[in-house]
Every structure is written in C-alpha cells, then in structure tokens.
C-alpha cells in the first residue's frame, strides 16, 4: 500500500515542469530547529528521574504550484533530519528523539496533488488540521500521515474535506507505522491498532465573524466520533471583541471494538474578552459517559485547551481553565506572552479497562483531581537580516493526587526552541 502512494508522487515530480504556475507559484524553505525539553518529576525523584531531550532538527519543505489546464497537477516534498545532541530517559513521554540509541533520524515524504477549480486531491504524505484529526507540530520534527485527502472550497461559504489515512510517521520516528489508540493509564482494553482511519466534514461561514463546523471520524474497528461546534467573534467596539468557541464530541466503540468499551460525551466551551493587545479567556470541559475521551496515540486533540504535561481527558473529568494572552506588538513587535491555569476534578479511574492485576484502585480510585500552570513566551524577529528567527520558552507546573503508578505524574516541564527559516522561493 505504501508503494501505491509513492508512485503517483514520483510521477508528478518527473512530469514536465515548464507549465505556467508549477514553478512560478512554488515555495521552498528550510527550517533549522534547536529543541530542548526537560520533564522534572518532582514528587518521584527516586523512582522517576528527570527526562531530558536536546536535539537539532532540519525541515526542508518544497511545494510546487500547479500546471495550467482545467485539471491542474503538482507535487510536494518534505525532508526531515533529527540529530540527538544529549538525551536521558527520552522514552518517558517526550516524543522528541527515538527512545533507542539512534543518534540521527529522518525521512523524505512525497505528495502528488491535482486540482480542479477550488477542489484539491492529494495522495501521499498528508498534513491535516481539523477538530477530529491533527498532524502534530509540537516537537522537533513534524508528524506526518499517509493517505488520500480531498478538500473543496467550490461552494460559497463552505470548506469541505475528507480523507482516508492508513499509516503514520511519528515525531520521534523514521518508520511508517499503523495508527493506534492512545491508552494512557490503561483507560482502554489495549493500545489497539487500526488498518484505516476515515474522516469527513467541513466548516460553514455565516459571516466573517461566525463559523460552524461538523466532522465525523471513523477509526476502523476501534471507535467513531462525531464533532460539532460554533465559533464567533462579536465586536463591541472597534477595539473590543467578545469571543466564543463551543464544541461537542460523541465517541463510541465500533466494529470489533479492539480497544474495548468506548463511551464518552465531551462538552466544552471557551469564552474570551479581547481588548487591543490583551485577551482573557475562561473555559470548561465536561466529560461524561463510562470511559475517558479517546484519541490517536502520539497525536493531539483539536480543542482550545492545549496543555502540555497533562491531558484532562479522564473519565467523568470536569475541567476549568483561565488564560491570559498579551501581544506586545505596540512596544516590541514579534513578542507574545501567554499564561494559563487549569484545574480539574471528578476524575474516575476504577473503570479503566486494562489496569495491571485488575486492581481498580491502582491509580488512586475515583474523585481525583489534577491541575496545571503554564507560561509561554515567544519572540520572532519581524524584519531585517534576522527576519524569521524565532525563540520560544514554555514552562508548566502540573500536579495530581493519583498514585505513583500513574503515567502522568506531577511534573515541572520546560521546553525551549530556537527556529530559523530560510525562504528560498
């Protein structure tokens, strides 16, 4: 199957490229990223030493334009290289460098694409971002999926997409693997793998300020998921906006239910007040049903709460968050700051399905809680010779009252990355 996706990409690359747009509308860039991550398990210093990853990465991204004609063709390529500088205990939830002794790793991925009007077909390596399926960019190298995608903007105010995906190349790996279910803290029967993932859905813009979306995800023989949401920006004055983002996810096991019982309804709402460079947001997430919220292993979830050490997806968990953002463009263009505090309670673990020894109290039982305090400082040089040079430092302090057997432990986590992008075209 993998050869099936590579062949059309090679054909597209070898086709005549003198056609209008193929080169003129192309883009070529190289990003050098130095990434450091430290997880200090401060309540488990004896049994759980700190995990550290420090690595250098390179991401070469080349995208062609399209040939002329009613049916237009193009090709994309992404090549990655990671170099492990210094890492200890990297297998403990880091996903930055390979967990074995590999010092360098990387890959080359190709995508063939065709376009008719505003409808685009892609075959090969895919980069996807929607409420039910995300290609994670949150480490040294990007995650990639392999499959076929179709997107369209031909209908006014609609943005539609669908895809079939069967393999993943993780952020800390060079191998194309089967996609699997995340099974943190033994929530499900097993970390089940699947032969296929499908999704379809889209966005509808009622106005430039209001957007609705509806998506369906099918992880073959594990679970399916329906997501619906509404995002709105309401201007009170020229400088003040009220922001709202509400979503609902319904997840159930399907087919052979290889991951075990999956029964989760997740309701979330985030409301913000933005005045100039300042934004204050209040959010909540309510999990109901018999199980935790399911998601794909080593991936992310398309919700407003993108915390770092914690997940906040446990069974019956209730989460509350307050966040402040500041854009210092009036004083230091390119500088941004964010801080956020998140607290959650009502965590249930006794129904987790694959607890070692079948011990329902291994993680501490029910009515547990967790919290996280985050700081995020970003700066990107906006102009001059160092334009496209970026710095980012993130620090999180997380806590919970689960036992030491839990996979997610009280942690002080620091991430630092320095990026520089050369744009050749």
**CA dist., res. 411 & res. 44, Å (int):** 9
CA dist., res. 12 & res. 14, Å (int): 5
Which contacts (CB < 8 Å, 24+ apart) does range 386-389 have?
388/420, 388/421, 388/422, 388/423, 389/418, 389/419, 389/420
Stretch (H or E) spanning 316: none
Helix (H, G, I), strand (E, B) or coil at 225: strand
| pLDDT tops 70 at residue 12 | no
pLDDT at position 259 is 98
Query: What span, in angstroms and rounded, lies between the C-alpha atoms of 403 and 368?
Result: 10
Q: What pLDDT sits at residue 17?
A: 46
Render pLDDT for 312-358 as a digit per residue (tens, 0 to 9).
Answer: 999 999 999 999 999 999 999 999 999 999 999 999 999 999 999 99
When pLDDT is averaged across residues 151-178 and rounded to a whole number, the result is 94
C-alpha dihedral sign at 181, 186, 189, 191? positive
Mean pLDDT of 15-31: 78
Which domains, and CATH codes, for the chain? 2-423 (2.40.160.10)
Let me know how many helices (H) and strands (E) the chain has, helices first.
1, 23
Average pLDDT of the residues in 158-177: 93
User: Do residues 54 and 82 make contact, with C-beta atoms less than 8 angstroms apart?
Assistant: no
Residue of 341, 342, 339 lying closest to 319 (CA atoms): 342
Q: How far apart are CA 123 and CA 114, in angstroms?
A: 9
* pLDDT tens per residue across span 378-405: 999 999 989 999 999 999 999 999 998 9
Terminal alpha carbon distance of the chain? 33
pLDDT digits (tens, 9 = 90+) for 37-85: 999 988 765 567 788 999 999 999 999 999 999 999 999 999 999 999 9
Of residues 375 and 138, more confidently modeled = 375
What are the tens digits of pLDDT across the range 75-109? 999 999 999 999 887 767 788 998 777 899 999 99
Q: 305 CB contacts (<8 Å, ≥6 apart)? A: 268, 270, 283, 285, 312, 319, 321, 342
pLDDT of residue 303: 84
Alpha helix ranges (H) inside 325-387: none
Average per-residue pLDDT in the chain? 92
């Amino acid at each position: 199957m993998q050869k099936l996706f590579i062949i059309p990409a090679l054909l597209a690359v070898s086709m005549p490229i003198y056609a209008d747009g193929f080169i003129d509308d192309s883009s070529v860039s190289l990003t050098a990223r130095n990434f450091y991550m430290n997880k200090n398990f401060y309540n488990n210093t004896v049994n759980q030493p700190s995990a550290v990853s420090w690595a250098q990465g390179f991401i070469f991204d080349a995208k062609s334009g399209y040939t002329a004609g009613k049916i237009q063709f193009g090709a994309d390529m992404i090549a990655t290289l990671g170099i492990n500088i210094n890492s200890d205990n990297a297998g403990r939830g880091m996903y930055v460098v390979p967990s074995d002794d590999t010092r360098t790793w990387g890959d080359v991925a190709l995508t063939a694409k065709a376009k008719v009007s505003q409808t685009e077909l892609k075959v090969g390596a895919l980069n996807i971002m929607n409420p039910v399926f995300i290609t994670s960019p949150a480490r040294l190298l990007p995650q990639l999926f392999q499959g076929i995608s179709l997107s369209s903007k031909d209908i006014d105010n609609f943005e539609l997409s669908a895809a079939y995906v069967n393999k993943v190349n993780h952020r800390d790996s060079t191998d194309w693997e089967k996609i699997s279910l995340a099974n943190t803290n033994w929530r499900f029967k097993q970390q089940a793998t699947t032969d296929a993932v499908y999704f379809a859905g889209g966005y509808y813009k009622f106005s430039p300020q209001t957007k609705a979306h509806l998506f369906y995800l099918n992880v073959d023989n594990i679970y399916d998921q329906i997501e619906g949401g509404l995002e709105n920006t309401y201007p009170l004055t020229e400088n003040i906006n009220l922001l709202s983002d509400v979503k609902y996810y319904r997840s159930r096991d399907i087919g052979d239910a290889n991951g075990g019982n999956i029964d989760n309804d997740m309701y979330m709402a985030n409301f913000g007040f933005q005045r100039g460079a300042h934004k204050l947001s209040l959010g909540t997430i309510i999990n109901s049903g018999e199980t935790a919220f399911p998601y794909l292993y080593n991936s992310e979830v398309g919700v407003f709460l993108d915390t770092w050490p914690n997940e906040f997806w446990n069974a019956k968990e209730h989460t509350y968050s307050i966040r402040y953002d500041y854009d210092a463009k009036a004083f230091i263009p390119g500088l941004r700051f964010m801080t956020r505090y998140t607290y959650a309670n009502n965590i249930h673990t006794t129904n987790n399905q694959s607890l070692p020894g079948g011990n329902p109290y291994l993680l501490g039982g029910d009515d547990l809680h967790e919290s996280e305090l985050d700081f995020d400082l970003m700066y990107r040089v906006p102009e001059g010779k160092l334009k496209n040079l970026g710095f980012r430092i993130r620090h999180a302090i997380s806590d919970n009252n689960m036992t030491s057997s839990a996979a997610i432990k009280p942690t002080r986590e620091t991430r630092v990355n320095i990026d520089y992008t050369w744009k050749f075209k």
